[in-house]
Amino acid sequence: MSIKTRALVFSTFFGSCIAIGLLLVSLTTNYWVRASPKRYNTSESFGNVNYGLFFGNRDLNVGYGNRPDAVNVYTFITSEPDVMSFWLWLVTALGTGFGLLSCAIAAIASVIKAASASKKRGTMILLFVSNISSASSQIVAFACWVIQFYQYLTHNVLSLKDRTKMRWYSHGTASFGFSFFMLVLSILVVLINIIVLIYAKRREHREDHRFEPPSEEKNQSAIMLY
């Protein structure tokens, strides 16, 4: 493998590191969805709700100041099953987590492949498998959260108590938060990694044919001609 081809493979290490950073931000921040609830029959009340995959915040102001309330998303989903689908949430969380793990494996494999002068195919196969697995799991997470958003969260992000006793509503006020867009950016980065690897694989294939020693049959033909 030439130095240029190794450099292409090693460049995917940086792509994997960027994807890891984006996914860590996505998993640890609380802005997968944001909403601005309102209260019926009053213009003085306003609210702000944001949920991550694991934690969130709910601030509802009835005119006497904010009432900040930390939210455990898992507990909230299990106690308010009509607000979010548990299975869509679970697949989103697992897909994002598995994408992070696959990116870490891809980063390690890219360093090993770029540093090795061997033509063994195992590391390149691992690079492709880990990157494709990461992209696939993240796309599944993306799809599940989009379905979650349009089937549930656009209609309501509030608990039954907030809707009935406190007279709040959030229909039509929800939007995707930046934590979700970190996942989208990570998917794009991993797809770029895959494109770079395909190009590097083709270069490696051309290099193998360019420097391939002449076959025995060709040698015999040359001797007979001589």
- Asked whether the beta carbons of 84 and 70 are under 8 A apart, the reply is no
Q: Which pLDDT score is estimated for 16? A: 96
Tell me how far apart the alpha carbons of residues 111 and 122 are, in angstroms, rounded to a whole number.
14
Q: Is the pLDDT of residue 124 over 50?
A: yes
Q: Which pLDDT score is estimated for 200? A: 87
88's tokens: 């869509």
Tell me how far apart the alpha carbons of residues 71 and 68 are, in angstroms, rounded to a whole number.
10
Q: Is the pLDDT of residue 116 over 90?
A: no
Q: Which pLDDT score is estimated for 46? A: 81
Higher pLDDT, 23 or 59: 23
Going from the C-alpha of 7 to that of each of 4, 47, 114, 116, 132, the distances in angstroms are 5, 51, 7, 12, 20
- Asked whether the beta carbons of 176 and 31 are under 8 A apart, the reply is no
105-117 burial by CB neighbour count: b if 16+ within 10 A, else e? bbbbbbeebbeee
Give pLDDT tens digits for 142-172: 999 999 999 999 999 999 988 888 888 999 9
CATH number (domain holding residue 152): 1.20.140.150
Tell me how far apart the alpha carbons of residues 37 and 215 are, in angstroms, rounded to a whole number.
75
Q: Which pLDDT score is estimated for 226? A: 47
Give pLDDT tens digits for 10-46: 999 999 999 999 999 999 999 999 999 988 877 777 8
Predicted TM-score (pTM) of the model is 0.86
Q: Is the pLDDT of residue 210 over 80?
A: no
71's tokens: 């939210």
Share of the chain above pLDDT 70, in %: 86
Q: Is the pLDDT of residue 217 over 60?
A: no
- Asked whether the beta carbons of 80 and 159 are under 8 A apart, the reply is yes
43-47, 50-54, 91-95: least confident range? 43-47
Q: Read out DSSP for 77-144?
A: HHH-TTTS-HHHHHHHHHHHHHHHHHHHHHHHHHHHHHH-----SHHHHHHHHHHHHHHHHHHHHHHH
What is the rounded average pLDDT for all residues in the chain?
87
Enclosing domain of residue 113: 3-225
Domain tally, the chain? 1
Q: Which pLDDT score is estimated for 212? A: 52
Tell me how far apart the alpha carbons of residues 54 and 216 are, in angstroms, rounded to a whole number.
64
